[in-house]
Amino acid sequence: MSEQTAVLVLEDGRTFTGRAFGARGSTVGEIVFNTGMTGYQETLTDPSYHRQIVVMTAPHVGNTGVNEEDPESTRIWVAGFVVRDPAIRPSNWRSTRTLDDALAGEGVVGISDLDTRALTRHLRERGVMRAGIFSGEALLDAAGRRKVEQDLLDEVTAAPVMAGADLAREVTVAEPYVVEPKRGPASGTDAVATVVAIDLGIKSMTPQRLAERGVRTHVLPATATTQDVLALAPDGVFFSNGPGDPAAAVHEVELLRDVLDRRIPFFGICYGNQLLGRALGYGTYKLQYGHRGVNQPVLDRRTGKVEITAHNHGFAVDAPTDGESVAPHDEGRYGRVVVSHVALNDQVVEGLECLDLPAFSVQYHPEAAAGPHDADYLFDRFVDLMTTGSVPDRAVGDTAEGSASTGDATKETTDAPSH
């Protein structure tokens, strides 16, 4: 056995052999695939990928190396990294080191030189599952012999599953911090609005997008209380992206209901969209293989426009898509809700708008790091909501292009009512 050998073992017993990439050793987690052709550095440093092994479907990865400007957090969060053909040397003027060196430096175990197309097709057919990457001494038993596949599979099946996982507190900021506005009458001091952002795994570009619009953002940890939020007298509250099962986020949902009860303007993305759904009383469910990449088509039912968007999620909201519904929580105290956006690939709910409260959310990443910028307008909509105090215009209801069903997405519905 070559010291460069690495083995990927899936929960269902299928194995792939390749070359060690990044750190040597072992890692386990939920294996998912990302369809983006660019933006691997943002993917690696996105806290939403905590406890996940990421497969890049683009065949050649690492061309531009790693730089100091593009990380979305202070560390690499992926549990493991799978690529087909890693670049031998980077070619970009901003590069400071290779992708291989960056992974090894942070102890991230990876594997390369395997058929990622066959692997992705397998995951599309069987669904996401647990997996493990093993290389170096992790492939050997105590006597120095190569471990049998069953031993490696036992390590994989001993790993925790993602359903039921409450992970926001494992990735959230330890202490609050402030991102000052970048424009305005006196940039850095005067702000058009003050936002409290709850860090559930926030990407650094998100408060920067608000700062570009003159907003001061106080980023608070996931453990923040209603009193912590109100003490900052925010004009709006934002819930970020993040990892884990929204059904396990009991504290965060209760905090959000306090925000809705006080009619504080609210905007949520990704995990924040799922938590708004649960706060309103809708269910959430685990997708068969999720949406991850920077090329996902989404219909904005308000305008009929199709946006190409950046995604990273494995759970979705189970809400009716055929017009208005009354939020089920507490006999409808939050009023009417519409599904504002839907995914065109599988009709998954991609956005919610409250018609009787100043609150809305989307399932994708409008900060677009990395990714297209079609959804930039959502930050403008949030600023308008805070500064004018008006509820956003009603989304399109039962139009030919706006109506959709929940489609054939495989579900594992959680405890909230299904609709």
Active site residues: 270, 365, 367
Would you list the DSSP string of 239-271? E----S-GGG-HHHHHHHHHHHHTT--EEEETH
Strand extents, DSSP E, 167-304: 177-179, 193-199, 215-221, 236-239, 266-269, 283-300
Q: Residue 274, annotated ligand binder?
A: yes
* Partner residues linked to 134 by β-bridges: 7, 26
- CA gap 362, 378 in Å, rounded: 9
Calculate the CA 275 to chain-centre distance.
13
Which residue, 24, 372, 75, is CA-closest to 204?
75
> Contact, 52 vs 30, CB < 8 A?
yes
Q: Residue 244, annotated ligand binder?
A: yes
> Contact, 29 vs 82, CB < 8 A?
no
Q: Residue 315, annotated ligand binder?
A: yes
Which residue, 139, 127, 103, is CA-closest to 17?
139
Which distant-in-sequence residues (6+ apart) come within 8 Å of 227 by Cβ?
Answer: none
Q: Where are the alpha helices (DSSP H) in 10-77?
A: 40-44
Calculate helix-pair angle for 271-280, 250-261, nearest 10 degrees. 70
- CA gap 382, 361 in Å, rounded: 10
Which residue, 249, 362, 346, is CA-closest to 288?
346
- CA gap 355, 283 in Å, rounded: 19
Q: Is 222 helix (H, G, I), strand (E, B) or coil?
A: coil
The one-letter code for the residue type at 82 is: V
Calculate the CA 350 to chain-centre distance.
13
> Contact, 18 vs 8, CB < 8 A?
yes
Give the 3-state DSSP-derived string for 346-394, with helices as H, strands as E and coil as C.
Answer: CCCEEEEEECCCCEEEECCCCCCCCCCCCCCHHHHHHHHHHHHCCCCCC
**Which residue ranges are tagged as binding site for L-glutamine?**
48, 242, 244, 274, 312, 314-315
**Which residue ranges are tagged as binding site?**
48, 242, 244, 274, 312, 314-315
